[in-house]
């Protein structure tokens, strides 16, 4: 068991290193040192100044030296964006409450709704309710997130004045405003996930229904409801929960770029998007590392838990 855990950890670390190298290289390719320096120096700088900046930030050093230096700065928290000089950690801190509010709220909503919808669709499989729910789920996964957001903002915001036109109000400042500004983003972000999760849950439940242990339970005389809750759901929820953890980690780490853009929420996703458009390597690298870390850690933890529960996997 210990060997398995250690192996997984080593793979995890190797993965993180690979991700950091790929991200770093992508931006060094885009903006070789001289261009980065020119961009930082601004419109009116002369070549001598640009060279000074190159030296100051180390753009004239070999790539691997730059990489090591950048990563070192990120890990001790001293990395700062070249364009605005804002410390990267403080930018992430500034955006974190927004993204966390978005992610957790939406996560709870989509998980709960998916369980209800998926279970209902499975129970009534093949019948009218199932078909309606299927179509709704289909529409959910077929709609671009920013289109849905724009439609809501236009009809419910500009026209009806029922929702705000975007923006974020901190929880500490005004809980009711905080909630009101997040309702539409939560809904928009959830729609996509509900469509996916409810379908997955539905087919997992339908598969489980045929399993032997369910038939045994029924034979033992347990009611349908008891069978459903105690056996089927418990088994079917496991893959969903691990998927949920991964998706949540991705959203927190800046995966909700579209939702945050369209609703003007200045969170981590927005920070990511800004970093790419401004070609701000350091900020982007830091955020990507954080997300990758979260995703990889949760993935590894899930595998370790599965291995703990199911010895067959360990021996693979």
C-alpha pair distances (Å), 242 with each of 72, 197, 300, 314: 32, 12, 11, 18
Nearer to another protein, 162 or 305 (CB): 162
User: What is the spatial distance between Cα 166 and Cα 297, in angstroms, rounded to a whole number?
Assistant: 33
Q: Whole-number minimum distance, CB 256 to another protein, in Å?
A: 9
Residue 83 binds to another protein (criterion: CB under 8 A): yes
User: What is the spatial distance between Cα 267 and Cα 269, in angstroms, rounded to a whole number?
Assistant: 6
Chain positions 202 to 231 lying near another protein, rule: CB under 8 A, are 206-207, 209-210
The tokens describing 163, both together, are 């929702």
Q: Whole-number minimum distance, CB 223 to another protein, in Å?
A: 21
Q: Whole-number minimum distance, CB 135 to another protein, in Å?
A: 8
Residue 46 binds to another protein (criterion: CB under 8 A): yes
Residue 253 binds to another protein (criterion: CB under 8 A): yes
Chain positions 258 to 287 lying near another protein, rule: CB under 8 A, are 258, 261-262, 264, 266, 271-274, 276-279, 284
Nearer to another protein, 85 or 309 (CB): 85
User: What is the spatial distance between Cα 186 and Cα 188, in angstroms, rounded to a whole number?
Assistant: 6
Residue 50 binds to another protein (criterion: CB under 8 A): yes
Chain positions 106 to 135 lying near another protein, rule: CB under 8 A, are 109, 112-113, 116, 125-127, 131, 134-135
What element of type H or E holds 96?
helix 88-123
Angle at 11 between CA 75 and CA 269, to 5 degrees: 50
Q: Whole-number minimum distance, CB 244 to another protein, in Å?
A: 16
Chain positions 138 to 167 lying near another protein, rule: CB under 8 A, are 138-139, 141-147, 150-151, 153-154, 156, 158, 161-167
Residue 250 binds to another protein (criterion: CB under 8 A): yes
Radius of gyration of the chain (CA): 24
Chain positions 4 to 43 lying near another protein, rule: CB under 8 A, are 11, 14-15, 18-19, 22-23, 26-27, 29-31, 34-35, 38-39, 41-43
Residue 193 binds to another protein (criterion: CB under 8 A): no
Q: Whole-number minimum distance, CB 106 to another protein, in Å?
A: 11
Contact with another protein (CB under 8 A) among 52, 229, 241, 305: 52
Burial 115-144 (b: 16+ CB within 10 A, else e): bebbbebbbebeeeebeebbeebeebeebe
User: What is the spatial distance between Cα 150 and Cα 143, in angstroms, rounded to a whole number?
Assistant: 12
C-alpha pair distances (Å), 194 with each of 71, 113, 169, 262: 37, 7, 26, 20
- How crowded is residue 240: how many other Cβ atoms within 10 Å of its Cβ? 19
Nearer to another protein, 127 or 234 (CB): 127
Residue 184 binds to another protein (criterion: CB under 8 A): yes
């Amino acid at each position: 068991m210990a060997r398995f855990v250690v192996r997984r950890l080593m793979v995890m670390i190797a993965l993180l290193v690979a991700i950091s190298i790929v991200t770093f290289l992508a931006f060094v390719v885009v903006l070789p040192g001289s261009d980065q320096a020119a961009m930082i120096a601004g419109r009116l700088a002369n070549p001598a100044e640009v060279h000074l900046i190159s030296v100051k930030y180390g753009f004239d050093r070999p790539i691997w030296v730059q990489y090591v230096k950048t990563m070192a700065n990120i890990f001790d928290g001293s990395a700062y964006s070249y364009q605005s000089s804002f410390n990267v950690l403080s930018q992430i801190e500034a955006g974190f409450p927004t993204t966390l509010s978005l992610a957790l709220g939406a996560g709870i909503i989509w998980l709960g709704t998916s369980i209800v919808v998926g279970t209902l669709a499975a129970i009534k499989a093949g019948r009218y309710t199932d078909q309606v729910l299927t179509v709704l789920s289909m529409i959910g996964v077929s709609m671009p997130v920013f289109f849905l957001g724009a439609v809501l903002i236009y009809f419910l915001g500009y026209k009806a004045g029922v929702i705000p036109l975007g923006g974020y109000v901190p929880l500490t400042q005004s809980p009711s405003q905080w909630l009101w500004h997040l309702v539409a983003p939560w809904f928009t972000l959830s729609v996509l996930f509900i469509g996916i999760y409810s379908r997955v849950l539905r087919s997992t439940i339908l598969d489980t229904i045929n399993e032997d242990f369910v038939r045994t339970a029924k034979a033992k005389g347990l009611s349908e409801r008891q069978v459903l809750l105690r056996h089927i759901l418990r088994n079917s929820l496991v893959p969903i929960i691990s998927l949920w953890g991964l998706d949540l980690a991705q959203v927190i780490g800046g995966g909700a770029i579209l939702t945050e853009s369209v609703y003007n929420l200045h969170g981590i996703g927005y920070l990511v998007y800004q970093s790419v458009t401004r070609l701000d390597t350091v900020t982007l690298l830091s955020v990507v590392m954080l997300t990758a870390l979260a995703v990889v850690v949760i993935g590894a933890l899930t595998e370790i838990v599965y291995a703990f529960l199911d010895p067959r996997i360990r021996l693979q």
